Amino acid sequence: MSDSTPLSPLQLTLLFVAGLCGGFIDAIAGGGGLITLPALLAAGLPPQVALGTNKLQSACGTSIALWRYAKAGFTGTPGLWLAVMMASIASMGGAYAVSVLDQEMLRQVIPWMLAAVAIYTACNRRFGIHPHKPRVPLAVLALVLGTALGFYDGFFGPGTGSFWTLALVVLAGLELRHATGYTKAANLASNLGSLAVFLTLGSVHALAAGAMIGGQMLGARLGAGLAIRKGARLIRPVFLTVVFAMTLKLLWDTWCS
C-alpha cells in the first residue's frame, strides 16, 4: 500500500537527480538525506510519506554502497552482525514511536551534538587516517550503538551515519574506510527495519521512490568507488562538509522557522 500523490514528469526527473546526488554523497560520508528528504517534501509529499519514501530509496542506494565496500574488504569488522541485528530491531521501535512521542527536544539537541562531531573532526587532522587500538570493545559498541542509533534512525534520523562513523573511529579505532563500510551496514539495517513499519502504514510513494532509486543506485556506485580509491583524503573533507551543512540546516529549521 502506498501514497498516491500525483507527480509530474518534471518532478520525477528532479527526484531522480536528487537521488543521484544524495546517493553519491551518502556513499562517501553519509548525509544524503540533506538532499533527498527536502526534495520529496518539495514535491508535495506529506511528511510521513516523505520519510517512508526516503527510507526506501536510501536503502537501495546504501545496498549498492555496502556491496562496493564489502567487495573491497571493508566490512569484515568483528561484531558487525550484532550491530546490524540491533539496529534493525531498534529502528522498528523508533518508527512506531514517531506517532506517539514528541520530537521537539531532539530537534533542539541534535544540531549541537552534530556541531561537536564537526569541531572534533576538524581539530583532529589525523581523524581516521590510521587505525589505532580500540578504547571500547567492538561487541559493546555494536550492542549499545546498534540499539541507540537504530532507534534514533527510525524515530528522527539526521546525523545517524555521522554518529556511527565518529564512534567507530574514536572508540573502536577503525580507519575511515572500514568505519564507513561498517556504518553502511548498520544504516542499511535501520533503514530496512523502519521501512517495514512505513510500508505497513502505507507511508511510501511508489512512483517517487522508483524515480529516486535509479539515481540513488548510480550515485552510490560512483561515490563508493571514489571513496574506496581515495580513502581518508576524500572521506574526511566530505564528512566534515556534510556534518557542518547538516548542523546549519537543523539549526535553521529549529530556530528560524
Tens of pLDDT along 27-76?
988 878 878 888 998 898 888 888 889 999 999 999 999 999 999 999 98
Q: What is d(CA 85, CA 76) in angstroms, rounded to the nearest whole number?
A: 16
Query: Which of residues 232 and 166 earns the better pLDDT score?
Result: 166
Query: Helices marked H in 47-103 — which ranges?
Result: 47-71, 80-97
Report, as an integer, the average pLDDT of 148-155: 90
The DSSP call for residue 43 is T
The answer to whether 22 touches 35, Cβ cutoff 8 Å, is yes
Q: Looking at the whole model, is its pTM more than 0.75? A: yes
Note the pLDDT of residue 191.
93
Q: Report pLDDT digits (tens) over 77-98.
A: 988 999 999 999 999 998 888 7
pLDDT band at 106 (very low <50, low <70, confident <90, very high): low
| Most distant CA atoms of the chain, gap in Å | 53
pLDDT of 257 above 70: no
Q: Which amino acid is at 41?
A: L
- Give the number of C-alpha atoms closer than 13 A to the C-alpha of residue 97, restricted to the C-beta side: 17
pLDDT band at 102 (very low <50, low <70, confident <90, very high): low
Mean pLDDT in the chain? 87
Report, as an integer, the average pLDDT of 11-22: 94
Q: Report pLDDT digits (tens) over 158-204.
A: 778 888 998 999 999 999 899 999 999 999 999 999 999 989 988 89
